[in-house]
Amino acid sequence: MKSSELQAPAIQVLERMFSLLDVLAQHQDPVSLKQISESTGLHPSTAHRILNDLALGRFVDRPEAGSYRLGMRLLELGNLVKARLDVREAAIGPMRELHKLTHQPVNLSVRQGDEIVYIERTYSERSGMQVVRAVGGRAPLHLTSVGKLFLASDDPQRVRAYATRTGLAGHTRNSLTDLAALEREMALVRQRGLARDDEELELGVRCMAAGIYDDQGKLIAGLSISAPADRLEEAWLPKLKETAARISAALGYRGT
């Protein structure tokens, strides 16, 4: 089998979609359907159908009938990928140092919608803790220390909207499933500048988290230490905050 065949998408419509996006990426201004069809070799009706579906997902914009350009959804996804890559690169060294101090799992997480996504983790068998959520795993915002950081950065209306969307479903008897309780918790997070998970996601596991900020002062990730409930030490807090601040500084944050 030829190498070009190995690299081709297995689903034909995806191959066509990629070719359409590539053509749009070559032009700064909107491109006419006729020009797109000629450049890709696709029949106008086929190109039109796929472009309409891409427009529904905001991957393509249609500024006027018969012309197309790349959509804002691609920018949003690109910024998300950029943030993950940049923050992971800046965080991995400090995370390893923090792990050597605590001998407990150190997690790097970002927000995606109503969940956090774990994008890096340093841990060892010495922690005595089984890592349940691997890199790429997800968890609800209100049940995690990092998720609470992101909720605390939202205005009250957005927090209430989150509660309505998710129903504040719980995982353990300690989970915050009441909006009033969650709002009180958010006030504490804002006051302290850090967040905790007191066996709210998993029984027997507690976490503490500090925020990581970019050069615009935006919260883009959270750094957390997870440990068996009886082993999480308050003495780790200053080092956790210092490590998060160090990562933020590497990303250009100049806040206090």
Question: In angstroms, rounded to a whole number, what is the distance separating the alpha carbons of residues 213 and 104?
Answer: 23
What pLDDT, on the 0 to 100 scale, is given for residue 78? Answer: 82
Radius of gyration (C-alpha) of the chain in whole angstroms: 22
pTM: 0.70
What pLDDT, on the 0 to 100 scale, is given for residue 126? Answer: 59
Residue matched to tokens 């991957």: 59
What pLDDT, on the 0 to 100 scale, is given for residue 128? Answer: 54
Cβ–Cβ < 8 Å for 146, 109: yes
What pLDDT, on the 0 to 100 scale, is given for residue 127? Answer: 53
Cβ–Cβ < 8 Å for 152, 186: yes
Structural tokens at position 110: 């970002």
Residues of the chain with pLDDT under 70: 1-9, 125-133, 256
Q: How does pLDDT run across 75-107, given as a tens digit for each residue?
A: 888 877 777 778 999 999 999 999 999 999 999
